[in-house]
Amino acid sequence: MFGGHRLQKPLARILSWINIRFGWLYLLVFIINFVFLLWLACSRYGNIKLGKPNDKPVYSNFKWGSMVFATGIDASIMMLSITDPLEFIQTPPFGLKPYSDSAYVASSALSQFNWGPMAWMMFAPAAILIGYVTYRKNKPTQKLSDNFSFLQGNSNTKKISRTIIDFLVVIGIIGGLGSSIGMEVPRTSTVFSAVTALPNNIWLQLGIFSLLFVLLGLTVYKGLNGGIDRLSMAHIYLAIVFLIVILFVGPTHDLIIDFGKSLGVLVQKFIPLSVNIKPSPTQQDTIFYWGWWLTFMPLMGTFISRISRGRTIRQILFGMLAYGVTGCLMFHAVLGGYGLWLQKTGTVDLVSILNHHSQADVIVALISTLPFKKVMLIFYAISCFILLATTISGAAYVLSSFTSTPLYGKEPSRFNRMSWVFVFLFFAFSLVLVGGFQVIQTMSVMAGLPLTLVCLLVLYSIYRSVRHDSELIFTPNELENTDRRQEYTVERKFAVRGKLILSFTNHNFSKQ
């Protein structure tokens, strides 16, 4: 690669320094976020609907869940659910002996933890806040900073604070998504090379970038409806078929039993993994994931809020856990479980391939053990391609909103959206030239670090909003008054410690 080795060493030192100095901060923010959102969902505030009282969800539960899942995970899970456990069995958590039976189970559990409930709940804060301000308070928002009521105003301090927040959000999204693309395109090119016998070089990868740009152009042209939603559904069906094939042609019984064991370890070790501040290879991997998920927080929050009007806070939070966590667990159970089974039984030495070649070569080796391997390789590549395109399309849609003039409810211009697609692909291609998974890890952790503060500000804003919202008692007339003007006053029932009562005075206007 073009000078890649020269950059990899200093980046590795940066990654180690961040892990030692700020690893505790990532863990603390994720714990606070997870506990707060569980409390929010289970409290009376969970009944708050993001929208008017009579608003209904635009998308069915399955379509909504498919869009959330497909946009949130991108194609990385198609590779990392396989390669992560293979890394962990060499240096397993909890001081276990490498390659022992316990190491196999614990490695699978750790991999599931990094894609589990704490990870998925990181998407929720921005989704709840933006949806609340946009659909319940009827305030137009395009940027994340628009949703911080305590930062609104014309003072220089507030203007600078809003600018800094939006800048960190944009940089975080570019860093996180660019890292994803930079990780996934080389894998796709390796699979494509195995199928077509074309040399796996920079020109093949450039061709894949070009095809991706064309597909994204068509998706962005269609927009949210008819573009991103269709890609999401296409991926879900492809992924389901792919996993079912592996489950039934592989060691079905072993995969189910091993998944049950790893799930038990995950439940048992959930808290120790959540608070593990001792630097280690497995802990560093969790820090990488926490930084990566943080970079997607503004992006996914904005996207999920756009498709969640009419849903309650509780429905959104539990829906994300149900669709997101369950979907990821299925990938780890089947793809990850099959990879571990091949390694454990000696069918294929995937660890040796991983250590001496690349993650993409591990994928090719694993899929080559399946019947109709070329068909399965093509199937895998198409599924990854569609999933990656879905994520990039959603990111371009969100960032174009952030950087547009006031839209007043309209979609961002296609030119703006395609400009961001170009930025993503250009940055990702630069990472491909540098090469190395550790470069990807460093970029994600660096991009996620400043967003820890943004996440805490979002949580504080949610608390301020819902706490005041619970004091309002709406009369049933609000459901019916669609053609009437309403005058309302807010009065305190008691002088001290009472609820606010919102009373309406209706005025009928006859046609002149």
DSSP string, 377-446: HHHHHHHHHHHHHHHHHHHHHHHHHHTSSP-TTPPPPHHHHHHHHHHHHHHHHHHHHH--HHHHHHHHHH
DSSP state of 46: G
CB 384 within 8 A of CB 73: no
The pLDDT value given to residue 222? 59
Strand partners, 507: 485
CA distance readout (Å), 298 to 171, 354, 505: 11, 33, 40
CB 147 within 8 A of CB 461: yes
CB 491 within 8 A of CB 501: yes
For the domain made up of 4-465, give the CATH fold. Answer: Amino acid/polyamine transporter I (1.20.1740)
CB 142 within 8 A of CB 407: yes
The pLDDT value given to residue 7? 62
Residue of 50, 54, 46, 51 whose CA lies nearest to 477: 54
Domain residue spans of the chain = 4-465, 472-512
The pLDDT value given to residue 508? 44
DSSP state of 371: S
Local confidence pLDDT in tens for the 512 residues of the chain: 444 556 666 766 777 777 778 888 999 999 999 999 999 999 989 999 988 888 888 888 888 888 788 767 766 788 889 999 999 999 998 888 999 999 999 999 999 999 999 999 998 999 999 889 888 888 877 677 778 877 777 888 888 888 888 888 877 777 777 777 777 777 778 887 887 777 877 788 788 777 777 766 666 655 545 445 566 566 677 777 888 888 888 899 999 999 999 999 999 999 999 998 887 888 888 888 898 888 888 878 888 888 899 999 999 999 999 999 998 999 999 999 999 999 999 999 999 999 988 888 898 899 889 888 888 888 887 777 776 776 677 677 777 776 665 555 566 666 777 777 777 777 777 766 666 566 666 777 777 888 899 999 999 999 988 887 754 444 344 444 444 444 433 333 333 344 444 333 444 444 43
| Token pair in block for residue 81 | 């659910």
Distance CA 16, CA 10 (A): 10
Distance CA 379, CA 241 (A): 10
Q: Which helix (H) or strand (E) holds 506?
A: strand 500-507
3-state secondary structure 182-222: HHHHHHHHHHHHHHHCCCCCHHHHHHHHHHHHHHHHHHHHH
The pLDDT value given to residue 504? 37
Helices (H), 275-325: 281-306, 313-320
**Three-state DSSP class for residue 37:** helix
CB 137 within 8 A of CB 147: no
